[in-house]
A and B are shown apart, each in its own frame.
Chain A
Amino acid sequence: MRIFVQGEDIIGIQVTESDQPLTGRHVVLEAVKFGFPAGDDLSVIWVGLEDSEKRLLLEEVVSVGDSDVRVHCHRCREITVTGHYNSKAISKTLPPGTTIGRVKEWLTSRDSFDIAPIDAADLVLVPCDDDADPLVENGHIGSLVHHPNCSLCVSLVPADRHQG
């Protein structure tokens, strides 16, 4: 199976392979190879599957078999995400392995900024106060956050239109 790893201080999406059943401990050790600052006490680390709220235990089996798996490691147990749109802001705590795509779904939903899907398609998420590239929808919010600052600010803005 291929393991796609994202996490704190890990650049982009890293990939590794395993032919053994995967445990939470294995995920952490793989993440360390890609730059995750685990520290000495692995038991305090949040390990989980992409877009899952469940925190995995170190000895818990994450996956068996050949299917690819997507995981996240972070020293923050949860991340407070604040989303801005049209001078309004809302906040929610989410697991570190939550994808940007899932955050966008939440922000555009009826209970949040209530943006129609056709209009949401023209919006992208960018970090607040940062002239950075639009955030990629498969990216995890934890990759943008460094412990102990377990918070993230994003804005919904119009996507670039290359015209003329």
Chain B
Amino acid sequence: MVMTVDEAVFCEHVQHGNFLDGVSRGKWKIVRQEWPHVWIEVRAAQRDPSSDAYVLRFDCTNYPQSAPTAVLWDLGTNTPLAHDRWPAGTGSVGQIFRTDWNNGSALYFGMDRAALTTHQKWPLEHPNTVWNPGKEITDYLDAIYGPLNSPHYKGTRCSISSSR
């Protein structure tokens, strides 16, 4: 079966040093690929008893001309991750991992296709940090790895609620 152009470019990008360096450092790894969907696990800071990693299912249709869009995923049930198991926190964590926007079907920031579609001023207002065809999947992953490994990340929503 002939690989589509978007999948071929994606496969090339995940062989680039920047992506492989992230894998080597344990920051992220591809756990499954069924084009145009790719499941990538991203490590989070240890916040016992919360999980120290989250899986995102990316839809990479028309990559990289179009931004990918991702939803947090439950590999066990093969469904979107329940909202109470989403990352919680302040600052960038609270902003990106919103369950109250779009019913939690995508991440709320300028690297994600769903958010960009409904915020057409973002490319003008934030030209350096929103998706463009020159970006790679590593740029998206870096933009969420940082917040998940910052003091803003407090753990999963249910673990924070139960500790109160």
Residues of A within 8 A of B (CB): 2, 4-5, 12-15, 68, 70, 117-118, 121-122, 131-134, 136-138, 159-164
Q: For the side of the interface on B, what is the size category? A: 20 to 34
Q: Does B47 contact A (CB under 8 A)?
A: no
User: Which residues of the partner chain A approach B20 to less than 8 Å between Cβ atoms?
Assistant: 2, 4, 13, 15
Given A121-B91, A138-B18, A160-B110, 6 additional A-B pairs, CB 8 A: A15-B21, A121-B146, A121-B151, A160-B128, A161-B95, A162-B110
Query: For the complex, what is the distance from the CA of A162 to the CA of B95, rounded to whole Å?
Result: 8
Nearest chain B CB to A49's CB is how many angstroms away?
14
Residue of B nearest to A15 (CB): B17
Q: Does B105 contact A (CB under 8 A)?
A: no
Chain A interface, DSSP helix/strand/loop, else mixed: loop
Q: From B17, B119, B147, B152, name the one whose CB has the most chain A CB atoms within 10 angstroms.
A: B17
Q: Is there an interface contact between B24 and A162, defined as CB atoms closer than 8 Å?
A: no
User: Which residues of the partner chain B approach A159 to less than 8 Å between Cβ atoms?
Assistant: 92, 129
Residue of A nearest to B121 (CB): A164
User: Which residues of the partner chain B approach A136 to less than 8 Å between Cβ atoms?
Assistant: 18, 142
User: Which residues of the partner chain B approach A137 to less than 8 Å between Cβ atoms?
Assistant: 146
User: Which residues of the partner chain A approach B119 to less than 8 Å between Cβ atoms?
Assistant: 162, 164
Q: Is there an interface contact between B130 and A162, defined as CB atoms closer than 8 Å?
A: yes
Query: For the complex, what is the distance from the CA of A117 to the CA of B90, rounded to whole Å?
Result: 13
